[in-house]
Amino acid sequence: MFLALAPALVEAHTIPGGLTLHQMASAADVIAAARIEHVGAEPHGAGPLPPVEVRILEWLREGDTKVENIRFVPHRHADERYVVGEEILLFLERRRPDAKDAAAVPYQSVEAIADRIVLVPATRATWIDATRAYAALGKGARASDDPAALGRVTVSMLGSAEPRIVTFALRDLTLAGAAPLIGEADVPALTALLDDGARPATLRVGLLMELERRKLVPVGPSWIPLLRAAPPNDRVQVIRAAAARAFVPAVTAELASILEKGERDAAIAAARALGAEGNEAAVEPLGRAVDREPEELRFAALGSLRRVGSPAAREILARVAKSHADPETRRVATTEQNLLDARAAAPPPAPAPAGTSAPSPSSGTGLGWKGITAGIVAVMLACLVVFLRKGKGKSE
């Protein structure tokens, strides 16, 4: 059965949201701005999606064909549908020559229907220009052979006024790992983006973490203005992200200030963010928070004291568990105290035998061969169920 499914799996696609603009342009044989002209009727049962016909409005990569109308096989992951008359950016790749109707329908879409980029007058030129820049990098491996070229486009797109383009560029930067897409010369322009309060705070956080990861800015100091300037709708998310930098004294001090002076949700988020193991500077402000309202703030502070785990944090947990005026707060403090005691009593991990290496992450927390095998079996069983249901429907 697995061999019978292989051709279908070869034409499978990625999960929704899994491709950036650069990745789509790199994978596509044909790139164009197009208008949806015809969408076929929905299939019965688990049948294949009918081809979609589009009229090409503007070529961005012609590939080996240049016709006015193109038919392609779409793909989707739920019940999304193209809309007739909708203008979209189209990324198409050649189907396998042995695919059914490949001569009449030679292409399949790179992106899922849910991930399509709809072109509207207000942002059409922005999307066209961005796609042309990525298309110019080339197709396949050529698109990543020159990190400097991709880096120049990435930096340019990070400054785009279109949030989705910025998100794509930031993801490219993250996925590049250690590849030198950006360097010291780019820091002034990227720092200006960090300081631009008009940009979404979550995107600024992602860019800051990437700059710190690449050691292009010092770890910690840039979080202070970001925390102070975050708009109310984004402030909690920025505080949560800053928890990864709570080991920096200046960040801990700023989070402690938010804990004591911030509005309700921000204070609760700060209480949780301060709970880094050994963060002794957070113990005093967390100790004051356990006597404040609302109870969510007290519970968050107690949880962070348990994560800090220092002797001073233990003393506060013991005091609250014994004498706090609120019974529920006493119960939570007792629970946190027990968890901390259990952690302290747990035996240390046994050292690996001499001459052997530590197990790889895939053998424990990752998939590993057992997980991969189980995944394949699950897919095969799911497909079997689909085939059985399809056969039952036909017989009925």
Does residue 365 belong to any structural domain of this protein? no
24 pLDDT more than 70 = yes
Smallest CA-to-CA distance from 275 within 260, 290, 286 is with 286
* Domains contained in the chain, number: 3
Instruction: Report the alpha-carbon angle 316-243-362, nearest 5.
Output: 105
Smallest CA-to-CA distance from 252 within 233, 224, 226 is with 224
Q: Please state, in angstroms and as integers, the Cα–Cα distance from residue 165 to each residue in 1, 35, 148, 210, following that order.
A: 42, 21, 19, 17
pLDDT at 348: 73
Does residue 251 belong to any structural domain of this protein? yes
Does residue 394 belong to any structural domain of this protein? no
Highest mean pLDDT of the ranges 77-86, 167-176, 381-390: 167-176
Q: Answer yes or no: do 206 and 241 share one domain.
A: no
What stretches of 125-255 adopt beta strand conformation (E)?
A: none
Q: Pick the more confident residue, 290 or 50.
A: 290
Q: Answer yes or no: do 90 and 123 share one domain.
A: yes
Does residue 372 belong to any structural domain of this protein? no
- Where does the pLDDT of residue 354 fall: very low under 50, low under 70, confident under 90, or very high at 90 and above? low
Q: What is the pTM of this model?
A: 0.75
pLDDT at 386: 45
Does residue 370 belong to any structural domain of this protein? no
Highest mean pLDDT of the ranges 77-91, 193-207, 227-241, 259-273: 259-273
Task: Note the pLDDT tens digit of each residue in 27-49.
Answer: 999 999 999 999 988 777 666 78
Q: Answer yes or no: do 272 and 170 share one domain.
A: no
CATH number for the domain spanning 26: value is 2.40.50.120
pLDDT at 355: 53
Residue ranges making up the domain that contains 313: 228-344
72 pLDDT more than 90 = yes
Task: Note the pLDDT tens digit of each residue in 101-120.
Answer: 888 888 999 999 999 999 99
- Where does the pLDDT of residue 89 fall: very low under 50, low under 70, confident under 90, or very high at 90 and above? very high
246 pLDDT more than 60 = yes
378 pLDDT more than 70 = no
pLDDT at 382: 52
Q: Answer yes or no: do 32 and 126 share one domain.
A: yes
Q: How many CB atoms are located within 10 Å of the residue 30 CB? A: 24
327 pLDDT more than 60 = yes
Does residue 279 belong to any structural domain of this protein? yes
pLDDT at 367: 41
- Where does the pLDDT of residue 7 fall: very low under 50, low under 70, confident under 90, or very high at 90 and above? very low
Residue-wise DSSP of 301-312: HHHHHHHH--HH
Q: Answer yes or no: do 203 and 237 share one domain.
A: no
In angstroms, the CA 393 to CA 396 distance is: 5
Mean pLDDT of 286-302: 96
Q: Answer yes or no: do 114 and 196 share one domain.
A: no
**Rg (Cα) of the chain, in Å, rounded?**
27
219 pLDDT more than 80 = yes
Q: Phi and psi at residue 62, in whole multiples of 5°?
A: -85, -25
Residue ending a domain, among 191, 217, 243, is 217
Q: Answer yes or no: do 104 and 132 share one domain.
A: yes
pLDDT at 100: 80
Q: Pick the more confident residue, 192 or 369.
A: 192
pLDDT at 67: 78
Does residue 193 belong to any structural domain of this protein? yes
Does residue 389 belong to any structural domain of this protein? no
360 pLDDT more than 80 = no
pLDDT at 380: 57
List beta partners, residue 279.
Answer: none
Q: 122: Cβ–Cβ under 8 A, 6 or more apart, which residues? A: none
pLDDT at 99: 83
Q: Phi and psi at residue 348, in whole multiples of 5°?
A: -65, 155
Q: Answer yes or no: do 236 and 331 share one domain.
A: yes
Q: 65: Cβ–Cβ under 8 A, 6 or more apart, which residues? A: 30, 106
Token pair listed for 50: 């009918």
Residue ending a domain, among 163, 185, 217, is 217
Q: What value does the mean pLDDT of the chain take?
A: 84
Q: What is the 3-state secondary structure (H, E, C) of 182-216?
A: CCHHHHHHHHHHHCCCCCCHHHHHHHHHHHHHCCC
Q: CB under 8 Å, gap of 24 or more: what pairs does 255-258 form? A: 255/227, 255/282, 256/281, 256/282, 256/285, 258/227
Contact call for residues 191 and 212 (beta carbons, < 8 A):
no
Q: Pick the more confident residue, 201 or 377.
A: 201
Task: Note the pLDDT tens digit of each residue in 117-156.
Answer: 999 999 999 999 999 999 999 998 877 778 999 999 999 9
Q: Answer yes or no: do 130 and 25 share one domain.
A: yes
Mean pLDDT of 246-272: 96
Residue ending a domain, among 217, 243, 272, is 217
Percent of the chain topping pLDDT 90: 65
Percent of the chain topping pLDDT 70: 83
Q: Answer yes or no: do 280 and 337 share one domain.
A: yes
Instruction: Report the alpha-carbon angle 1-107-38, nearest 5.
Output: 110
Q: Answer yes or no: do 121 and 18 share one domain.
A: yes
Q: Answer yes or no: do 232 and 339 share one domain.
A: yes
